[in-house]
Copies of this chain bind each other. A is one copy, B any other.
Amino acid sequence: MHILITGAAGMIGRKLIGRLVRDNALNDRAIDRVMLSDIVAPEKPAGAPFAVATDASDLSAPGAAARAVTDRPDVIFHLAAIVSGEAEADFEKGYRVNFTGTRELLEAIRLVGNGYRPKLVFASSIAVFGAPFPDAIGDEFFLTPLTSYGTQKAIGELLLADYTRRGFLDGVGIRLPTIVVRPGKPNKAASSFFSSIIREPLNGQEAALPVSEDVRHWFASPRAAVGFLVHAAGLANERIGARINLTMPGLCCTVGEEIAALARVAGADVARRIRREPDETIAKIVAGWPQNFDARRATALGFRAETSFDDIIRAHIEDELGGRVA
């Protein structure tokens, strides 16, 4: 099997290639080679038991998407995107990368022709939904994004569904919860603080909390996100049906509950490293975000997420900190 990962240099992309290397398979199918594509050349993983190539290119640039699919990858994980905060700050860049880049990839696949019909797993986002919401957002709630990022993801979902229906590819869109705890540094996503208030204290550092503790949101760990991607790649399209875009399961909890879980898992001293620094811009963006879902379809299709924030923190400590807390 030949796999293409776009956005492979990003956090989820690196976690995904790490898992493929460990499993030496994708859903029990042997992997021949993997192409890692991103705007900067992704690092090759150590000790891969299959061929790994890397490519630095911008899918929205003329010809780039055609080159990415010229070897007819069987499975494509399309993760390439700029994040919500950046897409809001730079309108043109957001549309170029998230809208044009996705369209170019779909068009390049269509134009390969000759019966080429890859499995395409599209990383969408709960940002396709915008307030006001019902108590729990069901699988038939309408797409009402309140950010340019959410708009671009919603358009990607619609295109993916139409290209699938027309037989150009076998698409599945998975709406990822907000992923916590992200390793590494804070990024420009407005959601960055959900991770940093856990990650920094676990590293012995202070972290700023820009919103109030009663802010409620929808989470899954990076480990669960990679699990969603792998599971999606193995789902037969007949099982999914015509409505190929799925809200992933997740954990609904408040910032206060995040902090309480941190105190339980790592101690009250660690949790005291969180500083309250209200930021109205971030608070306003987050207020438009969904808080809770009823992810019935995805759950019935076998997708699984954590069921407590303690487990999300423990996954981070195991996967990123070698099991130790500073």
A interface with B by C-beta (< 8 Å): 91, 130, 140-146, 148, 151, 154-155, 158-159, 161-162, 165-166, 242-243
Partner of A143, one of B142, B165, B166, B242: B142
B91 touching A166, Cβ below 8 Å? yes
B162 touching A242, Cβ below 8 Å? no
Q: How many identical chains are in the complex?
A: 2
Known: A142-B143, A158-B155. A148 touches B166 (CB 8 A): yes
Known: A154-B158, A155-B155, A155-B158. A146 touches B91 (CB 8 A): no
> Can you offer 13 A-B residue contacts whose CB atoms are under 8 A?
A130-B242, A140-B142, A142-B143, A143-B158, A144-B161, A144-B242, A145-B158, A146-B165, A151-B159, A151-B162, A154-B158, A155-B159, A158-B158
With a CB–CB cut-off of 8 A, which chain B residues contact A144?
161, 242-243
B140 touching A141, Cβ below 8 Å? yes
With a CB–CB cut-off of 8 A, which chain B residues contact A151?
158-159, 161-162
Give me 8 other A-B pairs in contact (C-beta within 8 A), A143-B158, A154-B158, A155-B159 excluded: A91-B166, A130-B242, A141-B142, A144-B161, A144-B242, A145-B158, A146-B165, A151-B158
